[in-house]
Homo-oligomer: A and B are copies of this chain.
Amino acid sequence: MNKITKLFGIDYPIIQGGMVWVSGGKLAAAVSRAGGLGLIGAGSMQPELLQRHITKAQSLTSRPIGVNIPLLYEKAHEQIDMALSLGIKIFFTSAGSPKKYTSYLKDHGATVVHVISTPEHAINCEEAGVDAVVAEGFEAGGHNGRDEITTLTLIPQARSAIKIPLIAAGGIADGKSILAALSLGADGVQMGTRFLMTRESSAHENFKSLLLQSTASSTMTLMKSTIPVRLFNNKFAREIMQIEQSFHGDNLKQKLNEHLGKFRARHGMLEGDLENGELEVGQSVSLIKNILSVEDVFKELLHDYQEAYKKLSQSL
């Protein structure tokens, strides 16, 4: 039992990252049933839809389930109240200040974890009273830190900066990378893309199949002039790149926003439009060679971790 398994009451220090359009109640319940912590990604959800996903997850497991709330969403407060009213006790907050809702959530008896991408933000989290921090490196899919700090350099620095439990995210997808994250001082890991590529995720089957063909160079971070995001290199991403090579300044920002439009992520990730949709995915995608059930993912992770551990020697 370590700090993370104790904090959440779970078997393994493995958390499934909240992902828009991909991690609903079905996936979160499957992860929690397997002994990790499943998170419902509330980012893209109206409060009523979030209610349905929470209720569904609770019907599938009595184990702890969490919700990930991106705080920049205008309905974040409604989402929080909805989740609290349904008995959710674990909140991962992101994309905003940890000061915004931590006291409110703690007053309602919840455990609060905040996602950061620099060591300085980790300190802000500890000062705001959160219970643990997810330190997410440049490798991660979707929205991403502006400073491009990778997991390998972020984790040891976040570890030195704070005393509360630390969860590593970004680029972690197998037993070897979990071992690496713990070597760096993390108490646990959060994985997105690995759980996106499971039977239980709500990613479109076309999207999952596409990801099985990826290489180490298949993702890229784009839109650095607005909100940086790591995407799969498809037609849409190449169009964004073309715009970034053809404009600069305010003109660039306007063109990017026009081209992005609305619902691009839903079209791509949920509805399977692999050409014109926005496909958020982490750099670890090419480490993943199969679509498994969540239960089998856990078996593989635990086995691979042990195998990798056995190969280490105790001195250099």
Interface residues, chain A, with chain B CB atoms under 8 Å away:
12-14, 118-120, 137-139, 147-154, 156-157, 170-172, 174, 176-185, 215-217, 220-221, 225, 245-249, 283-284, 286-287, 301-302, 305-306, 308-312, 314-316
CB closest residue in chain B, given A161: B216
Question: Once the chains bind, are B137 and A14 in contact (CB under 8 Å)?
Answer: no
Contact partner of A156 (CB less than 8 A), chosen from B156, B157, B174, B305, is B174
- A-B contacts besides A150-B283, A301-B316, A302-B316, 20 pairs, CB < 8 Å: A14-B316, A118-B216, A138-B138, A138-B150, A139-B150, A147-B220, A148-B221, A151-B152, A153-B177, A156-B174, A176-B185, A178-B316, A179-B180, A180-B181, A225-B245, A245-B248, A245-B249, A247-B248, A305-B315, A306-B316
Question: Once the chains bind, are B153 and A139 in contact (CB under 8 Å)?
Answer: yes
Q: A151-B150, A152-B139, A220-B148 are in contact. Are A312 and B179 (CB under 8 A)?
A: yes
Q: A148-B220, A153-B287, A286-B153 are in contact. Are A180 and B184 (CB under 8 A)?
A: yes
Q: A287-B153, A309-B312 are in contact. Are A147 and B245 (CB under 8 A)?
A: no
Q: Which residues of B are found within 8 Å of A137, using beta-carbon distances?
A: 150, 152
Q: A150-B152, A216-B119 are in contact. Are A306 and B315 (CB under 8 A)?
A: yes
Alpha-carbon distance A180/B177, docked complex (angstroms): 8
Q: Which residues of B are found within 8 Å of A181, using beta-carbon distances?
A: 180
Alpha-carbon distance A237/B205, docked complex (angstroms): 44
Q: Which residues of B are found within 8 Å of A184, using beta-carbon distances?
A: 176-177, 180
Q: Which residues of B are found within 8 Å of A157, using beta-carbon distances?
A: 216, 286-287
Closest CB in chain B relative to A226 CB, distance in Å: 13
Q: A151-B152, A153-B284, A283-B153 are in contact. Are A314 and B308 (CB under 8 A)?
A: no
CB closest residue in chain B, given A181: B180
Q: Which residues of B are found within 8 Å of A249, using beta-carbon distances?
A: 245-246
Alpha-carbon distance A170/B150, docked complex (angstroms): 10
